[in-house]
Amino acid sequence: MVKNWLKTCEGEHINFFRCIDVEDMCIVSVPITSQYVALSYKWGECKPFLLLKPNKDDLFAKDGLRRNWDSVPKTIRDAIDFVRRVDCRYVWIDQLCLIQDDDDDRGSGSDADSGLPGVREGTRSSSRQVTSEVLPGVNLVLRHTMQDIITKSEYHHRGWTFQEYYLSRRKIIFIDDTIYFRCHEKTWQELEDGLLVRPDPTMERGQALHKPSGDMYHFLGQLLNKYTTRELKMPADYVFAMAGICRRLADYEQCGLLFGIPVPALDWFLLFYPTKNGLKRRDIFPSWAWSGWYGEVYYNYGSGNVTEWAAASTWITWYKREPSGELAMVWDKAESHTAKAKELFGDLCDVSHTEPSREPAGAKIDKLYAILQFWTISTSFALRKIDQEEGQRMLWSRGLWTPTTYELLNRDGANCGFVTLDDPALSSRHRTNAEFILLSLSADQSHGAASSNPTPQATDTGEQFFWVLMIEWQEGVAERKGIGKIRRTALAHTQDPGVSWKEIVLA
């Protein structure tokens, strides 16, 4: 009986995943606790050899890879040979460990035929080192760091390699004429004479994923600033290719995720800016999420604590509406924000409504993803295009001027804030007034227009400005169009129709 219990536990309770067994040359299932090597690379344009439903039985059988060896790209062949030579048994390679024509299974060099330099004879290029004789018999060597070389490589631009790089505890990196080894304590470089050099001093952000410290929300914002510069062929992969990092950080905070956003910090993660190149809508994800846009987003993470800021500076009770119509709070541990809303806006309008409507008036909701439903202040301002010099004079905007930055004007024509449009195509439209919804209090402190230095990030709530989102409606559903800030005093002189407490359905 005990034997049966053990057999059942080993067969059903231990998580397994597929790896390539480099000794038996086939694809096998191994316990998740097994030691293995993972290949992080770029597929490129070469013809791949994939694990598919028709060939999986052959590849699962012993010597299945040997029988198909000539069809396997060089990089993958070199990786298998290398793993065997360093006395490891298993290697994970996405092309051969995920069934590529099974969506449930798949989840979602310059290319895979470049090979790994140095594994096979004659596959290394000439040395990258530049030397110069500065004195008789004394040579000066220009040493490139590993990070210098990686950032200029094809590997650095691919989306999937981002989390593969940062989540790995140890890395062996093949770069033309040398090999690097990096763990969280040291970095070594192989020289042509086989000697080791001093550790590369380049800081490793990935270390924080294994030894967490500080504010994890700020750290995720820094990583997203970098990740959103990467390229992905499949738009649907955008969240999946960052999911490992987001999940790791969410586990530290013991919270859930919504489109790659830790739900306790949803208010903060809505506050991303476009960079000067602007953004373009990725409409398979919501506009309020970083994943809903093509292009580089910028989180101005500052120095404050996100959790403390959210507790003191937010008033929205967030709900999400699933495609099925089911409504639920985004974060079920969230406290009521009624008192904060009443404190800030009670003199302007009735802010008692916070529950979402089961059937929002006039809303045609046909999105295939969860949308946000909530109540907040809605108002209007006029937009005036400004140049870079004017933008830099608006120092409380923290210098985030882009070609799509507009000044916001109240009904008297006075400056009351700014907005940066996400998509540069919106700038070509002739626009006068736009609708804005208030999201949260900003921690920025105003130093006045005469100040000669950019505004520093405050660590308290400041309460000088509101974060605002510019929105546009279509068939009763709104989408984000820009991000900005307004002065708290701006609510007294808004454009018509004035200030209202409004239910927002945000896709």
Q: What is the pLDDT of residues 288-318, one digit of tens each?
A: 999 999 999 999 866 678 999 998 999 999 9
| Helix, strand, or coil (residue 4) | helix
Query: Into how many domains does the chain fold?
Result: 3
Q: Could you give the CA distance from residue 478 to residue 463 in angstroms, rounded to a whole number?
A: 27
Q: Could you give the CA distance from residue 259 to residue 152 in angstroms, rounded to a whole number?
A: 30
Q: Which of 210, 226, 252 is the last residue of a domain?
A: 210
Q: Binning pLDDT at 50, 70 and 90, where does residue 453 land?
A: very low
Residues 206 and 222 grouped into a single domain: no
Query: Average pLDDT of 459-465?
Result: 53
Q: Which amino acid is at 111?
A: D
Residues 203 and 228 grouped into a single domain: no
Q: Could you give the CA distance from residue 406 to residue 421 in angstroms, rounded to a whole number?
A: 8
Q: b/e string for 423-453 if b means 16 or more Cβ within 10 A?
A: bbebbeeeeeebbbbbbbbbbbeeeeeeeee
Q: What is the pLDDT of residues 1-31, one digit of tens each?
A: 676 666 666 666 667 889 999 999 999 999 8
Residues 287 and 388 grouped into a single domain: yes
Q: Binning pLDDT at 50, 70 and 90, where does residue 71 land?
A: very high
* Cross-strand bridge partners of residue 478: 473, 506
Paired tokens of 167: 């989540």
Q: Binning pLDDT at 50, 70 and 90, where does residue 78 land?
A: very high
Q: Could you give the CA distance from residue 188 to residue 145 in angstroms, rounded to a whole number?
A: 11
Q: What is the pLDDT of residues 334-377, one digit of tens each?
A: 666 788 999 999 999 999 999 999 988 888 888 999 999 999 99
Which residue range forms the structural domain that includes residue 439?
Answer: 216-506
Residue 450 scores a pLDDT above 60: no
Q: Binning pLDDT at 50, 70 and 90, where does residue 47 land?
A: confident
Q: Which of 210, 236, 262 is the last residue of a domain?
A: 210
* Gyration radius of the chain's alpha carbons: 27
Residues 88 and 63 grouped into a single domain: yes
Residues 220 and 344 grouped into a single domain: yes
Residue 106 scores a pLDDT above 90: no
- Give the least confident one: 106-120, 407-421, 474-488: 106-120
